[in-house]
Amino acid sequence: MKTIKGPALFLAQFAGDDAPFNSWDAITKWAADCGYKGVQVPSWDDRLFDLAKAAESKDYCDEFKGQAAANGVEVTELSTHLQGQLVAVHPAYDTAFDGFADPSVHGNPAARQEWAVDQVMKAISASANLGISDHVTFSGALAWPYVYPWPQRPAGLIETAFDELASRWRPILDHAEENGVNICYEIHPGEDLHDGITFEMFLERVDNHARCNMLYDPSHFVLQCLDYLDHIDIYKDRIKMFHVKDAEFNPTGKQGVYSGYQPWVDRAGRFRSLGDGQVDFAAVFSKMAANDFDGWAVVEWECCLKHPEDGAREGAQFVSDYIIRVTERAFDDFADGGTDQAANRKMLGIS
C-alpha cells in the first residue's frame, strides 16, 4: 500500500485580480499559509502561468517550480479543464463556450477546436518539462444534448459522437505517451465522459490507450446517485488523480437530479465545502489507500454557501486528517509463529 500525498489545492477557483490571488508568488505563499503542500495549476490563467513558455522552456518550468518550492508548496499537476472542453463542442453551446477561448477564435468553431487541441498539447509538453506525470482535463461533449432520449435518439447517433470524440483525442493521447504523461479526464456531468459506462465507451474507441485515465471526484457521483465507493474499486487501475470535493443530494417532492433549473443554493444536489456534505470520506480515503493510490489529494473548493477562503483553510486540515499513513507491517505480526513450507505442509496434513 501507498500513502496519498497532500493536501493540495486547485487554484482555479481562487485566482483573481486582487492580492494575494493575482500572482504566482503571492498565491503560493497564501496556499502554504493555509496548510497546503501542493497546488494544482489552471493552465489558462496567465496571471499565474505562461503556458506557451512552459511548453518550450524547461528553464522557465524550473523557475516556476522553484518559486513554489521556496514558498512551501509543490506543483502537483496542470489543468486544461477549459481548453479540453473546447476539443468537442456541440453547436448548441457555441456561444456559451466561446468565452473559454482566445478572442481571436470567437465565432469560429473550427478555429476554436484547433486552438483548444494546441493548448492541451502544450500543457502536456509543459507537464513533461515540469517533471509531472499526470494532467487533468475535460473531454468535451458532442452527445450531451441527447443525454435524455426524448425524442427517441436515431440509431447510431451516440456511437457516431463517441467515434468522433475518440478521433479528436487520439493524437493528444499519443502526444501524451511520447511525453510520459497521463491524461486524466474528470468524469463530470456536461461532458461526454460523465460516468463509468461513458468512460468505457471512449476507452474502447482509443484502443485502451495507456494514457487514457481518469480523475476521481466523488461529488459528481453523489449528484448522479452513482455508487462512488464501488467506482474506486472498478477503475482503480485508471484513477490517477483525485479531487477532494463534497456534495449533498436532498430530493424533495418537487425536484430531484435535474433540480428544476434552480440556482445552486436552491438545488436538491449541491456542492459543499469539505465536511458539510454527504460524501463518506473515511471510506473514500480507505479505498484509495487499499488500492495503492499514491497521487495527490487535491481540494477543489466549490460551495454555494461558505466563503472560499474559509473553505480553503478548513479543507487543508480536513484532508490532512483523512490521509492514511499506511502501515508497513501487519497488525498481528506479534503473533507470527515463524513457520516455513515444511511446517505449512505438516499443518495441512500433506506428507
Question: For residue 184, what pLDDT is reported?
Answer: 98
Structure confidence by residue, pLDDT tens digits, 208-248: 999 999 999 999 999 999 999 999 999 999 999 999 999 99
**Which residues lie below 8 Å from residue 66, measured CB to CB, with a gap of 6+?**
none
Structure confidence by residue, pLDDT tens digits, 118-163: 999 999 999 999 999 999 999 999 999 999 999 999 999 999 999 9
Tell me how many domains the chain contains. Answer: 1
Structure confidence by residue, pLDDT tens digits, 83-119: 999 999 999 999 999 999 999 999 999 999 999 999 9
- Burial tier of 115 (Cβ tally within 10 Å: 0-12, 13-18, 19+): middle
- Burial tier of 27 (Cβ tally within 10 Å: 0-12, 13-18, 19+): buried
Question: For residue 330, what pLDDT is reported?
Answer: 65
CB 43 within 8 A of CB 119: yes
Q: What is the DSSP letter of 6?
A: E
Please state, in angstroms and rounded to a whole number, the distance separating the CA atoms of residues 163 and 160: 5
Q: Which spans in the chain are helix H? A: 24-34, 51-56, 58-70, 81-85, 94-98, 109-130, 157-179, 196-205, 218-222, 228-234, 281-290, 308-322, 341-347
**Which CATH number do you get for residue 343?**
3.20.20.150
Which single residue is written with the C-alpha cell 517533471? Answer: 131
Q: State the cell numbers at 87.
A: 476539443
Q: Are strands 246-249 and 269-272 parallel, antiparallel or unpaired?
A: antiparallel
Please state, in angstroms and rounded to a whole number, the distance separating the CA atoms of residues 32 and 12: 16
Residue type, 332: D
Where in the sequence is the domain holding 157, given as residue range(s)?
5-347
Please state, in angstroms and rounded to a whole number, the distance separating the CA atoms of residues 184 and 322: 23
Structure confidence by residue, pLDDT tens digits, 64-85: 999 999 999 999 999 999 999 9
pLDDT band at 297 (very low <50, low <70, confident <90, very high): very high
Please state, in angstroms and rounded to a whole number, the distance separating the CA atoms of residues 209 and 172: 11
Please state, in angstroms and rounded to a whole number, the distance separating the CA atoms of residues 167 and 175: 14
Q: State the cell numbers at 256.
A: 430531484
Q: State the cell numbers at 297.
A: 489529494
Question: For residue 33, what pLDDT is reported?
Answer: 98
Q: What is the DSSP letter of 299?
A: E
Question: For residue 346, what pLDDT is reported?
Answer: 83
Instruction: Tell whether the model's pLDDT for residue 172 goes beyond 90.
Output: yes
- Burial tier of 57 (Cβ tally within 10 Å: 0-12, 13-18, 19+): middle
Structure confidence by residue, pLDDT tens digits, 301-349: 999 999 999 999 999 999 999 999 887 766 656 557 677 888 888 888 9
